[in-house]
Amino acid sequence: MYFGVLPYKYHIIPPYIVTLFIVLLIFVNSRMGNQFFAMDTKGETITFETKNVGFLAFLDPKPNKIDLPKYKLIRYEYNNGVISKDLIFYINSKKNPSNLTKVKFRLAYISNRNINNILSELDKIVQSNYHVKDKVEVAI
C-alpha cells in the first residue's frame, strides 16, 4: 500500500512508520467512540442508542442500545476526557447483588450542544425519580 500511494521521490519515510501511523489512527478512532446517537425520552421509557458509521464501522458493527423504564435510572455520570467523552448510566437492577447495573456509552463525536441537551433531559428524569421516591410511603 505504501509503495503505490507515494511517488518514489518521497520514500524518505520508512514503510513501517507509515504502517504504525495508520494503525495508531485506527486505534484512536476506535477508542473515541461512536459517531451516531439517538435518544428518545418521550413516554415512560428511555431509549438511547449509539453506533458506528463510516469506513471504520467494521471494527464495532453492533450498535450499543439501552431501552429501560424511566424509574429505573438512579443516576448518571458524564466524563469529558481528552480523547473520549463517556456517559455512564446507573440502573436499578435486581439481577446484581448490589442492585446496580452500570452501562457505558462513548460520545466523542457528538457536539457539545447535543450533549447539553442529553444531560438536561437526564437531569429532569433523575430529579423526578428522586422526588417520587421521597414521596412514596411504605405501608406496614
Q: What is the pLDDT of residues 65-101, one digit of tens each?
A: 889 898 888 899 999 887 778 889 999 888 777 788 8
- 3 within domain boundaries: no
- 140 within domain boundaries: no
Per-residue pLDDT at 92: 86
- 2 within domain boundaries: no
- 98 within domain boundaries: yes
Cα separation, 32 vs 131, whole angstroms: 35
Per-residue pLDDT at 138: 47
Per-residue pLDDT at 54: 66
Q: Are 32 and 84 in contact (CB under 8 A)?
A: yes
Q: Are 86 and 104 in contact (CB under 8 A)?
A: yes
Place of cell 436499578: 92
- 25 within domain boundaries: no
- 84 within domain boundaries: yes
Contacts 24+ apart (CB under 8 A), 44-50: 44/69, 44/70, 45/69, 45/70, 46/70, 46/73, 46/125, 48/89, 48/105, 50/105, 50/106, 50/107
Instruction: Quote the pTM value.
Output: 0.69
Per-residue pLDDT at 120: 93
Cα separation, 64 vs 97, whole angstroms: 24
Low-confidence ranges of the chain (pLDDT < 50): 1, 138-140
Count of structural domains within the chain:
1
- 103 within domain boundaries: yes
- 6 within domain boundaries: no
Per-residue pLDDT at 36: 78
Q: Are 45 and 91 in contact (CB under 8 A)?
A: no
Per-residue pLDDT at 76: 92
- Residue 127's domain comprises 33-134
Per-residue pLDDT at 9: 58
CATH number, position 49: 2.30.29
Q: What is the DSSP string of 74-103?
A: EEEEEEE-SS-EEEEEEEE-SSSTTSEEEE
Cα separation, 91 vs 98, whole angstroms: 11
Q: Of how many residues is the chain composed? A: 140
